[in-house]
Amino acid sequence: MYNFHFISSLFYETLFTFPFPSFNNLNFNPNFNFMGLRFSSFLSNSTVSSGPTLGELPESCVASIIAYMDPPQICQLATLNRAFRAASSADFVWESKLPPNYHLLLAKIFQDFPINLGKRDIYTSLCRLNSLDGGTKKVWVDKGTGKLCLAISSSKGLSITGVDDRRYWNYIITEESRFSTVAYLQHTWWFEVDGEIDFPFPAGTYSLFFRIHLGRAYKRFGRRVCNTEHVHGWDKKPVQFQLWTSDGQYVASQCFLKEPGNWTFYHAGDFTVEDGNSSTKVKFSMTQIDCTHTKGGLCLDSAFIYPSEFKKSKAFLNCS
């Protein structure tokens, strides 16, 4: 070790004893390998430019900068040149973007995930809309933030009172959901939707939402039209939300449903996960069971679980 350093420092001395070019003409010898002690060698043949360029940097230096960028930008920059491409697939860059408990996530989501896949590929796999529980749930990592999101379908993912009675509920095919169908309520006295999820959420605070549309949307001559003929009863009493976790958290709230014609995320409550190394069980419900009146004309898409910080950063979650 000592000898190596001694030799390398002598090398510095001998190489630089000839007159060095002026400051504005920094031009590293592309074959000089002193940083090759740790890093890969310098890239070759960039033209001498008038200002200092970073084009001659070894890929680990490029990687150090891009490690602080967000994943979509890192993927964009992979097209710059070879050094960027190599740096953009460096494991250490992606290690920091992955949820800390990604091993658990892979085990839960995939049947057999190839073990020797690079960290970037693990990240992109987690970012896809992965199906869980026979397609009744979808789970994905938000590509910009690396945070976990989950959707539970109204079709067999959630438990809807009276859903089998076609006088009350029907499933309609839609393009406006992550799932292919949403549940449409014509009318009922007893409106109750229950759900539960048992999943290794990474540590953090999460918010649960129900995505709801008052009125029934369809396409007419290519334009979106909303039929609100069945919408009634929601203005009489508010809808009640409740949320429980297996570690004793409980939250209850209520609000009135409003705004026919748009998909709205109704915030049901928040829960906190302390330890990402174990599975968290969450139960939740949405009810309006005042039997003095019926209510109807509602499309229920799914329940969503998003990191709580998305309430501020994602425009579509401007909750009621």
Partner 1 sequence: MAQEASSSTSSKTISLKTGDGEIFEIEASAAKQMKTVQRLIDDLGDDITIPLHNVFSKELPKIIEYYKKDITGEITKDFEAEFVKDLNDDEVKVLFLAANYLDANKLFEFLSQNIADRLESKSVEYVRKYFGVENDFTPEEESKLREERAWSFRGIKEDE
Residues found near partner 1 in the complex (CB under 8 A) = 2, 5-6, 8-9, 12-13, 16, 20, 23, 26, 35, 43, 46-47, 49, 51-55, 57, 61-62, 64-70, 72-73, 75-85, 124, 127-129, 140, 143, 176, 178, 263, 314, 316
Task: State in angstroms the smallest separation of the CB of 293 from partner 1.
Answer: 31
Task: State in angstroms the smallest separation of the CB of 35 from partner 1.
Answer: 7
Residue 211 makes CB contacts below 8 A (sequence gap 6+) with 177, 263, 264, 265, 266, 300, 301, 302, 303, 304
The beta strand positions in 19-142, using DSSP E, are 130-132, 137-141
Q: Which is nearer to partner 1, 12 or 218 (CB)?
A: 12
Are 264 and 196 in contact, with CB atoms under 8 Å apart?
no
Are 157 and 311 in contact, with CB atoms under 8 Å apart?
no
Q: Which is nearer to partner 1, 178 or 281 (CB)?
A: 178
Residue 9 makes CB contacts below 8 A (sequence gap 6+) with none
Q: Which is nearer to partner 1, 16 or 221 (CB)?
A: 16
* CA-CA-CA-CA dihedral for 73, 78, 79, 84, to nearest 10: 120
How long a stretch of residues is the chain? 320
Q: Which of 258, 286, 269 is nearest to 154 (CA)?
A: 286
Task: State in angstroms the smallest separation of the CB of 145 from partner 1.
Answer: 13
Task: State in angstroms the smallest separation of the CB of 74 from partner 1.
Answer: 10
Structure tokens at 181: 């169908």
Task: State in angstroms the smallest separation of the CB of 3 from partner 1.
Answer: 10
Q: Which is nearer to partner 1, 31 or 292 (CB)?
A: 31
Classify 61 as helix, strand or coil: helix
Residue 299 makes CB contacts below 8 A (sequence gap 6+) with 172, 174, 182, 183, 184, 185, 212, 213, 214, 215, 216, 217
Q: Which is nearer to partner 1, 149 or 251 (CB)?
A: 149
Structure tokens at 189: 């006295």
Are 145 and 97 in contact, with CB atoms under 8 Å apart?
no
Task: State in angstroms the smallest separation of the CB of 24 from partner 1.
Answer: 10
Task: State in angstroms the smallest separation of the CB of 66 from partner 1.
Answer: 7
Task: State in angstroms the smallest separation of the CB of 27 from partner 1.
Answer: 11
Structure tokens at 21: 């070019």
